[in-house]
Structure formats: structure tokens, C-alpha cells
Amino acid sequence: MIVPLLMLAAPAIMSLAAYLLRRWVWAQSLIAALTSATLGLLALQIPLDQIAVFAGRDVQFQSAWVVLGRSFTFAETDRPSLAFIYLASTFFFAGAGAAKPPRAFLPVGLITLSLLAATIFAQPFLFAALFLEMIAASAAFILSDDEHPATRGALRLLVFVTLAVPFILLAGWQLEGLATSPEDTSLLVRATILLNIGLLILLAVVPFHSWIPNVADDSAPYASAFVFTVVQTAVMFFMLKFFTQFDWLRANTAEFAALRLAGAAMVGVGGAFAFAQRKFGRLMGYAVMVDLGTALLAVSIVEADGLPTALSIVALRGIGLAVWGMGLGWIRSRSTHRNSDDFDHVSGLGWQMPFAAAAVIVGGLSLAAIPLTAGFTGRWALFRLLARNDLTLAFVLLIASVSVTLAYARGIAALLRPPAAEESDAPREGQATIVFVIAGIGAIILLGMFPQMLLPAVARAAEAFVK
């Protein structure tokens, strides 16, 4: 059995089954969640290049699959990345039936899993940039639909990824030349410059960030949360893999200085623009920018705790975003203006849709890193690291966090404002939605109070990137 082929083919095949069942969203959700959960468990446990008993037969599990001269290889160090992608997707797929996602969300989400696995398996892994391009193209199908016809954010995402891919591939070309002419240091310099440009675009660093608030504003909230969590985390893993495989890059202190500057720019710009927002969607987009910037700041700290802190920020982001996206989708359905989440248009809806409002409030506050929420764990660890290394950056991050929180407080005040009109017959949260919202809020608070439940897994994942 060829393990990479299994990981690539299974989601693609199940996406067809999900598409055929598109009228029964709960059946789709069950298929997608079971597929991603199974693959997540396999990613952690399946033996590689060994013979094991499977279905009563001896089966050799091969870790490599060669196609057209290129290899898709499942390495031991890839287990944490794959497990996170699959298990985070399971969380999103399981709640999709209660979250009002786009029709294509589950079939396209499964296809995206295949492409994300391909980015991890591709060897030489520089060619993974091509699969990131395919992921951006597939994301367009879930970021715009009949209910959300605006394509501005999706197209900007596609354009920026398209701009980044040539730089990554040209960097690979320079590195291949370095293998035959190791004395030519100019090749290494050019490769580093090209690689940095490509990564800055892929990571949505200022000024390549504009697609984030536009996606959050124009697209279905649940689909936006999926892209911000799963897709952008895959990009982060893609960057970390460069530092793992290239010693010369890891030894270059200028690289970490550039990451710190990029992270500070995202934190500063995100915090500055967040304060002026009066829409939940755009506010969440800038809050995501701040969170992405904090992860880059953590990676830039060349200490034992820097990388685990970054991975904890990345891992905990998705829980708050999923809960937020589920609640905001229902809030928008009751807005006085079609699919609007302007604070004035959702005024008083917290009393009419209390569970959806609670999801928006708690999910958003988690991303703002309020104490006793899941998002606070990684942010507090980063504050402690920055206080020892760069007090100015710690202050900038604190101001940005306060800015997001104050802007969010205005939105909460609008939701909880006494309603001016009588309740209408518009859709309400169903029982399934209430169950998932309560479970999500419970997970946010539980991980906020007991972060040690997650820390061992984060530590093991960090070890995979420093070998």
C-alpha cells in the first residue's frame, strides 16, 4: 500500500460522494468528518516502510510514490503537520451542517485536503508552491456563492498566490544550480531573495494582506474561517519546512530579523485598522492579521520556546474562528440588510439569537486573546518571550490586542442593544447549531483554563521542525 497515494486519493474520492449527496448536508458533513478524522489518525499511527497485518494480510506500507520523475514522500517529520490539517478540518466538517456554509464547502474542502497533503509530500518540496496555487483556485469556489456573490477577496487571494509561486520556483531553480556550482555564492543570495519575496506574499505580509479583510467581509464566515485556519496554517508549515531542510537558511540571522519585521508590520497594521471597523467580518479579518503576525513574531525568536509558542498560536486560532464563523453565519441571516454584519444592522440580535451571538462573542474574544479563552494561551507565552527580548514589540502587540478588543466591544454592545422591532419569522438557530455552539464555546473556555491539555502535542510538533 502506497501511503501518500492513499492520503491524496481518499479525500478526492469522498468529495465526489459528498457532491452527490449535496441535498443532504448532514450526510455530507458525516462523510467529510469521518474521512478527515480517519486520515488524521492514520497520519499519526500508520507504519512507514514496514510490513504490517492489515485485514488479515501482510501489507507493506510504502512511504514514497513516484510520479513523472517527482516523488511524493511521507516522512516521519510530516506527521504533526498532516495530523493538524486533518483534525482541524474534522472540526470544521463536523460543524458544517449547523453553520450555514456554502453548498460547495464540503466537496471542495475534501479536495483541498488532498492538495494540502500534496504540499507536504512533494519532493523537492519547492514544487509544493504549485499545489498552493491549486488550493487558492479551489478556495474561490467556497469563498463566493449565490448568497455571497462578491469575488473581490477570493480573486485577490488567487492573484497574490499566483504572484508568489514564480518566486518560489525561481528560488528552487537557483538552488539546483547551487548543487552543481557550490562555489558560486551569488546563486545562494538570489535564491534567498526570491524565496523571501515568495514567502512574504504567501504569508499575506503587508502590503500583500488586503485579501484577508476582503474575504472576511465578502465571503461566508464559516468558509472564511476554514481558509484562515487550515490553508494559512499549511502555508506556515511550508515556510517552516524551509528552515528545517536548509541549514544555511536557519543559520542566517537576517532571516529571523525579516520575520520579526514582517510580524510586527502585520500586528501594527492589523491593530490600527481593527479599531476603526464597524463590521464583524472586516474586524475579524484584521484580528486574523494580528494573530498571523504574532505567529511570525514567535517563529522569529530563536529560542527553545519560540517555535512551540508559534504552533500553539496557530493551533488555537482555528477553534475560535470556527465558533465565530458558525455564529456569524446565523447572525447575518437575521440582519436588517441582506447578509450584512454591520454593527447597526445586527443591533439587538443578541436577544433574538442568543446562542449565535454567544458564538460570535466568545469566538471573537478568543481571537483577541482575552484571558480564560483558548487564544490567550499562545499570546501570553509570546508576551513573556518578547518581554525578555524586545519590550517595544511587546508593547506594540499589547496595543494591537487592546485595539481589537475595544472594537469588538462596540460590536458586542450593538448585539446586546435592546431590540427596536418585534421579532420576525426569520430563521433561528436549530438544535444542532445550539449543540455545536455550546461544544465549541466549552472547548474555548476549557483550553483557556487548562492549556496543558494541548502543550504536549505542540511540543512534539515543534520537535519535528527542528530535527
Alpha carbon distance 4, 240 (integer Å):
21
Alpha carbon distance 223, 41 (integer Å):
24
Segment 164-199, tens digit of pLDDT? 888 988 887 787 777 677 777 788 888 888 888 988
Question: Mean pLDDT across the stretch 266-294?
Answer: 91
Q: What share of the chain has pLDDT > 70, as a percent?
A: 92
In a domain, residue 400? The reply is: yes
In a domain, residue 84? The reply is: no
Confidence of residue 304 (pLDDT cuts 50, 70, 90): low
In a domain, residue 52? The reply is: no
In a domain, residue 276? The reply is: yes
Alpha carbon distance 150, 152 (integer Å):
6
| 354 cis-preceded (ω within 30 degrees of 0) | no
Mean pLDDT, the chain, rounded, equals: 84
pLDDT of residue 429: 65
Asked whether the predicted pLDDT for residue 435 surpasses 70, the reply is: yes
Half-sphere exposure of 384 (CA within 13 A, CB side): 11
In a domain, residue 308? The reply is: yes
Residue 277: count other Cβ atoms within 10 Å of its Cβ: 25
Question: Mean pLDDT across the stretch 283-302?
Answer: 90
Q: Are 96 and 29 in contact (CB under 8 A)?
A: yes
Structural domains in the chain (count): 1
- Is 450 exposed, middle or buried, given 0-12, 13-18 or 19+ CB atoms closer than 10 A? exposed
Residue 339: helix, strand or coil by DSSP? coil
Question: Mean pLDDT across the stretch 272-286?
Answer: 90
Where is 179: in which H helix or E strand? Answer: helix 152-180
Q: Which domain holds residue 265?
A: 252-467
Segment 43-67, tens digit of pLDDT? 888 887 777 666 567 677 787 888 7
pLDDT of residue 294: 92
Question: Mean pLDDT across the stretch 454-459?
Answer: 69
Segment 418-427, tens digit of pLDDT? 866 555 555 5
In a domain, residue 200? The reply is: no
Half-sphere exposure of 78 (CA within 13 A, CB side): 28
Confidence of residue 34 (pLDDT cuts 50, 70, 90): very high
**Which residues, other chains included, contact 97 with Cβ-Cβ below 8 Å and sequence gap of 6+?**
25, 26, 28, 29, 432
Residue 172: helix, strand or coil by DSSP? helix
> Rounded to two decimals, what is the model's pTM?
0.88
Task: Provide DSSP, 222-285.
Answer: HHHHHIIIIIHHHHHHHHHHHHHH-HHHHT-HHHHHHHHHHHHHHHHHHHHHHTT--BHHHHHH
In a domain, residue 7? The reply is: no
φ/ψ bin of 308: left (φ > 0), alpha (ψ from -120 to 50), beta (otherwise): alpha
Asked whether the predicted pLDDT for residue 87 surpasses 90, the reply is: no
Name which of 27-31, 72-76, 147-151, 355-359 the model is least confident about: 147-151
Extract the runs of DSSP E, i.e. beta strands, from 362-432.
none
Q: What are phi and psi of 293, to 5 degrees?
A: -65, -40
The residue type of 417 is R
Asked whether the predicted pLDDT for residue 245 surpasses 60, the reply is: yes
Q: Grid coordinates 485579501 are at which residue? A: 211
Alpha carbon distance 358, 360 (integer Å):
5
In a domain, residue 390? The reply is: yes
